[in-house]
Amino acid sequence: MSAERSLARLGSALALGFTLALTTLGAHAQLQAQPQPQPYGGPLFDAHLHYNDEAWMQAHPVEDALGRMQRSGVRAIIANSRPNDGTKTLASAKALTVAAGVQVVPFIRLYRNRADYSSWFNDPSIAAMVQAELAAGTAAGPYRGIGEFHLYDSANANGPVAVQLMKLAQARDLVVLAHVDDAAIDLLMAHAPKAKLIWAHTGIGGAPVDRVRALLLRYPTLMGELSYRPGLTQGSGRLSAEWKALFTEFPGRFLIGSDTWVNARWQGYESLMQEARAWLGELEPAVARRIAWGNGAALFGLPDPAPR
Ligand SMILES: [Zn+2]
């Protein structure tokens, strides 16, 4: 080997080593930085909003609640309340909701008071109340759904009023918002296999992601709302890898929500929506927009909001 050739070899070996070192450094710097993606900036559809009497009669009158939505970029809501007066109050405030740019989709709540939470599924007077509300409608138009209702014991999904209301929802094309476990999803869908069911929290008990996937595959009209969902984000607020994969696999099946079940959730409303915007920003923009807005708008036939 000539001295010239071995020098050339040494040179290319050094160059390769240098390139490798640079690449490693680059990858290391990237790992360390991991910049937080830009938050999602488009419209939001809040698919789990309560306007209970302690909110609208006390701390959060209509102007206050709408102000929080407007500042958060929320352009449509599923409104329901215990009792239904809060929803009707919001639905009647047409000038204010139009001015705030918020479309109201009214749902019938099954609760007149807290006692109804644990007995509605066996109580014929609840079914009668739902029929009366349906017949009356609201100032914002007919009711579009039933819920949120709770089943703390999934076996109560077979209660006579639960069966009756699932069949009613399917017959009248009403969307159901249900806070239940995964076993109750199977039971409810058995009563009305074509009903449109929004699974509140997509299982607040943290049903495994594979179980959520299996239910979405089994029931094409099932959707998941994501407030309080355990495991959705990690400590830093970043979207977990398994949920990111599930959203990418089923971009048309999820919705965001605030779940303003107590006034503290109203006080934190804007932060809740900011948190949602942060993890939505980690998704492909088209997927983020569907989960943030498009899926809810499509479910109820809402027009896209005018830019503000
Ligand atoms: Zn709720």
Question: How do strand 103-108 and strand 254-255 relate by DSSP bridges?
Answer: unpaired
Query: What separation in Å is there between the alpha carbon of 110 and the centre of ligand 1?
Result: 12
Query: What separation in Å is there between the alpha carbon of 55 and the centre of ligand 1?
Result: 14
Q: What value, to the nearest 5°, has the Cα angle with vertex 11 and ends 6 and 13?
A: 95
Averaged pLDDT, 42-64: 96
Kindly report, residue by residue over 224-281, the tens digit of the pLDDT.
999 999 999 997 889 999 999 999 999 999 999 999 999 999 999 999 999 999 999 9
Query: What separation in Å is there between the alpha carbon of 86 and the centre of ligand 1?
Result: 14
Query: What separation in Å is there between the alpha carbon of 303 and the centre of ligand 1?
Result: 25
- pLDDT given at position 306: 87
Does residue 130 contact residue 108 with C-beta atoms inside 8 Å?
yes
Query: What separation in Å is there between the alpha carbon of 96 and the centre of ligand 1?
Result: 24
Query: What separation in Å is there between the alpha carbon of 232 and the centre of ligand 1?
Result: 17
- pLDDT given at position 131: 97
- Our measurement of the distance from residue 142's CA atom to the centroid of its chain's CA atoms, rounded to an integer in Å, reads 22
Query: What separation in Å is there between the alpha carbon of 254 and the centre of ligand 1?
Result: 16
Query: What separation in Å is there between the alpha carbon of 19 and the centre of ligand 1?
Result: 56
Closest to 219 measured CA to CA, from 243, 254, 195: 195
Q: Has residue 22 got a pLDDT over 60? A: no
Does residue 140 contact residue 106 with C-beta atoms inside 8 Å?
yes
Query: What separation in Å is there between the alpha carbon of 83 and the centre of ligand 1?
Result: 13
46-55, 78-87, 232-241: which range is least confident on average? 232-241
Between CA 288 and CA 251 the distance in angstroms is 8
Does residue 254 contact residue 295 with C-beta atoms inside 8 Å?
yes
* In 101-174, beta strands by DSSP E: 103-108, 145-150
- pLDDT given at position 7: 47
Query: What separation in Å is there between the alpha carbon of 50 and the centre of ligand 1?
Result: 7
Over pLDDT 70: what percentage of the chain?
Answer: 89
